Structure 1
């Protein structure tokens, strides 16, 4: 089956606070709640992209290394996302050009805020007992 465009790779960081809550952002472009992240740029390492994206979208600098908690493929948009559990090293959450709002979400709040395809990323990162998850979705629902 021919592919008319290549896959892209993105990273997302699920920053966990001392109370076990995850830092979620509400995107300015579509209003969706999700963990901060974005596309890995050409010439950029995965850890550098992770640190840059979390800082750009939250104002929080994360400690490296971060733990890989899942690999997710958007089958519709051909995006492979690497999701990491992160710890804040410096800074305080803030809004910015890409972020309308932010909040610390407890495990039971994640499903209420985020679509299934993004909530599972956060929940997988909150569950440190499992090996990294490998999942596929259509942009909204798991498949």
Structure 2
């Protein structure tokens, strides 16, 4: 199975050969739980997300990716930050693409649906914020979620 390998400030990381704008979405339900997926390509926990396709906006991509990966419909409500750290390289073993991080972290409001795994997620759950530290996730995802939980008054940029 193709894998995703995340490197951070690692001399063993391949040189980046692409940069693809992508989105991640932090969706909360009415109880304040956060929608999380266990990724099928690296077994890490993350909020849903993926590349912005040509012809769609970042909000449309966020809604689409959330439905595709989780079965949950949401409405995009805001921006937490934009993450472009060149020290974070994402290797896709299926094609050798080594991507420099470029992720826009959005917030979303739950509209409908039941958590349902997909080909990109082996598990989908609503998680209490206090339990997020128990989940195995890459440091870049944990950083994004922590920024969200801090409830900043302005978006984060790097």
Q: Same fold (TM over 0.5)?
A: yes
- Indicate the structure with greater strand content: 2
Could you say which residue in structure 2 is the equivalent of 1:78?
100
Distance in structure 1 (CA, Å) of the matches to 2:22 and 2:118? 20
Q: Do 1:13 and 1:84's aligned partners in 2 also have CA atoms closer than 8 Å?
A: yes
Note the alpha carbon deviations across 1:92-115, whole angstroms, 9 max, x for none. Answer: 111111110012222232233122
Note the alpha carbon deviations across 1:101-139, whole angstroms, 9 max, x for none. Answer: 01222223223312221012122223334321124xxxx
Distance in structure 2 (CA, Å) of the matches to 1:27 and 1:48? 21
TM-score w.r.t. the length of structure 1 is 0.82
Alignment of 1:2-81 (within 5 A): 5-64=17-76, 66-75=77-86, 76=89, 77-81=99-103
Please tell me the root mean square deviation across aligned C-alpha atoms, in Å. 1.9
TM-score w.r.t. the length of structure 2 is 0.75
Distance in structure 2 (CA, Å) of the matches to 1:51 and 1:70? 17
SS at match of 2:21: strand
Distance in structure 2 (CA, Å) of the matches to 1:23 and 1:29? 18
Bigger drift between 105-114 and 78-87 goes to 105-114
Structure 2 alignment gaps of length 5 or more: 1-14, 90-98
Could you say which residue in structure 1 is the equivalent of 2:155?
132
Distance in structure 1 (CA, Å) of the matches to 2:101 and 2:59? 18
Please report how far the alpha carbon of residue 44 of structure 1 lies from its aligned counterpart in structure 2 after TM superposition. 1.5
Aligned counterpart in structure 1 of residue 144 of structure 2, from 105, 116, 121: 121
Q: Is residue 104 from structure 1 mapped to residue 126 from structure 2 by the alignment? A: yes
Q: Do 1:22 and 1:122's aligned partners in 2 also have CA atoms closer than 8 Å?
A: no
Distance in structure 2 (CA, Å) of the matches to 1:119 and 1:126? 10
Aligned length: 132
Distance in structure 2 (CA, Å) of the matches to 1:104 and 1:127? 19
